Amino acid sequence: MDLFGTAGVRGRVEERVTPELALAVGRAVAAEARARESERGGSPEDPPRVVLARDGRVSGPAIAAAMEAGLASGGATVSRAGRLPTPALAHASRGRYGVMLTASHNPPSDNGIKLFRDGVEFDRDLERAIEARVDAEEPPAAWDAWTEPDRVDVLHDYLDDVRGYAAGFEVDGDGAGNALDGLRVAVDCGNGMSAPATPAVLRELGATAVTLNGNVDGHFPGRGSKPTPETLRDLRAFVADANEGVDEPGRDGEGFAFGIGHDGDADRIVVVDADGEVVHEDTVLAILAERYVRASDAGDPVVVTTPNASGRIDERVRAAGGRVERVRLGALHEGIAAVRAAAEPAADGDAGDDTEVVFAAEPWKHVHTAFGGWIDGVCSAAVIAVLVASEGLESLREPIAERPYRKVSVDCPDGRKEPVMARLTDRLPAAFPDATVDTDHGVRLEFPDASWTLVRPSGTEPYVRVYAESDAVDELVEEVREVVASAVAEAES
């Protein structure tokens, strides 16, 4: 069973991510965890511990109960953590296992399962082991290995740690948040799990957060749970209108310095500027990436990102003295691990050890590696607020070139994706001879002026996707689309 797509286990709760599935996955996780602990010489008296949380979805309590049943009857001890943002669960999973029940920004009819070990999402190897055990219908453990759950309150510790981490970015701060000095920020929680987290952290850092949709409600009544320019229209209008005629928005108790939009489980963040416009996701990424590279003492600071992320990131990272590594979508944690592995000191004890992954991100999703190995939108909100308070959003954006961006889909039946991509590996470089080619994750062409295009098959739908960013983006997309379409047509015949 192919449980884990690029987005992890996710789908409708009546059909796909049912309590039955959660029970089976819980059983499999417990069994796999016990097997691995036992390999390491752990005592059978000490069952592995799994922190279990959920977001605010209507289906959460039932799915959580089923997951608990699976884990406990598989011999793992469950620590019930209640409702949490995903990054808070990831934080709590350090030194143990973690299960987060969330469908992130999917509609309210869905739910999903994210698995963590020691603060990092399961890698492919662990995912495959879980799939195998689910397929084999892992039986219960012996009755006397079943466990009783306990409860843990972990949100407070997480928020404390985020606050402390973000306060470290204050230029003139004393760590107690005074540098934010009442900076006003509008936060659209989208009725999701950022509600008990981001506003509290901002307050403790000294800012004033006014929230939209700050009541947790699994029906997501206020807006769609995926933050887009469209679903954030209330936030954008709220910020824009409040700032009308205000000299220094968000200072002196008037208006808002910027706005924040989160998804349902707060791993994702969208930033809105003082005019109510969404700041391009790659710009946010570039701001953070540059900052982390600059702040690093490492000889070889690395930023890990995904193929669909803009070349503007590369520009800023290079300018700051770092380098960018790309990894397939949804696998930032594997990219981090790969860079670290490659940096292992050579046999002669030399080199390598000065490589450091200082930041890893795909659009809207940021891993603050010095804070923790998980995607963390609450931490992003805190760090960005501190940076904006110190320098202003406009001066942070200023050095970053924003070029027009497009994404189109070309029809291509699933069965033909492979031959089409094989053909394109030759055809595209041939069609654009002045571009640098990278075929690690689809075919990515980068041009001398840092404009770029990426062609890759969709993992879930019958399309080949074309992404492009360029001052002349429409022309570029059209040229690429034609090459792709003719490759599809050829494969048909």
Indicate which residues carry an active-site annotation.
104
Q: Where are the alpha helices (DSSP H) in 308-371?
A: 311-319, 332-342
Of the candidate spans 189-197, 326-334, 400-408, 452-460, the one that interacts with a second copy by CB under 8 A turns out to be: 189-197
**Which tokens sit at 410?**
């070309």
Q: Applying CB under 8 A, which of residues 99, 180, 242, 468 lies at the interface with a second copy? A: 242
Q: Provide the pairing of β-strand 463-469 with 452-457.
A: antiparallel
Residue whose CB is less far from a second copy, 223 or 403: 223
**Contacting a second copy within 284-343 (CB under 8 A):** none
Quote the DSSP letter at residue 253.
T
**Contacting a second copy within 27-66 (CB under 8 A):** 43-46, 58-63, 65-66
Q: How far apart are CA 421 and CA 208, in angstroms?
A: 50
Q: How far is the CB of 193 from a second copy (least distance, A)?
A: 11
Q: How far is the CB of 294 from a second copy (least distance, A)?
A: 27
- With H, G, I as helix, E, B as strand and everything else as coil, classify residue 294: helix
Residue whose CB is less far from a second copy, 49 or 368: 49
Under rule CB under 8 A, residue 385 binds a second copy: no
Under rule CB under 8 A, residue 246 binds a second copy: no
Half-sphere exposure of 396 (CA within 13 A, CB side): 26
**Contacting a second copy within 202-241 (CB under 8 A):** 203-204, 208-215, 217, 219, 221-223, 234, 237-238, 241
Q: How far is the CB of 440 from a second copy (least distance, A)?
A: 39
Residue whose CB is less far from a second copy, 166 or 487: 166
Please give the radius of gyration of the chain, using alpha carbons only, rounded to the nearest integer: 23
Q: How far is the CB of 459 from a second copy (least distance, A)?
A: 25
**Contacting a second copy within 437-456 (CB under 8 A):** none
Count of other CB atoms within 10 angstroms of residue 234: 14
Residue whose CB is less far from a second copy, 124 or 156: 156
Any idea which residue has 């992320």 for tokens?
309
Q: How far apart are CA 192 and CA 88, in angstroms?
A: 13
**Contacting a second copy within 142-161 (CB under 8 A):** 142-144, 146-153, 156, 160
Q: Provide the pairing of β-strand 97-101 with 110-117.
A: antiparallel
Q: Is the separation of the CB atoms in 407 and 400 below 8 Å?
A: no
**Identity (one letter) of the amino acid at 329?**
L
**Contacting a second copy within 82-141 (CB under 8 A):** 108-109, 139-141
Any idea which residue has 């691995």 for tokens?
36
Q: What residues have CB less than 8 Å from 387, skipping those under 6 apart?
A: 169, 287, 291, 396
Under rule CB under 8 A, residue 260 binds a second copy: no
Under rule CB under 8 A, residue 19 binds a second copy: yes
Q: How far is the CB of 44 from a second copy (least distance, A)?
A: 8
Question: How many binding residues for a second copy (CB under 8 A)?
Answer: 71
Q: Applying CB under 8 A, which of residues 3, 18, 81, 480 lies at the interface with a second copy? A: 18
Quote the DSSP letter at residue 415.
G
Residue whose CB is less far from a second copy, 200 or 428: 200
Q: Provide the pairing of β-strand 300-305 with 355-362.
A: parallel
Residue whose CB is less far from a second copy, 63 or 130: 63
Q: How far is the CB of 461 from a second copy (least distance, A)?
A: 23
Choose among 124, 126, 55, 106: nearest CA to 84: 55
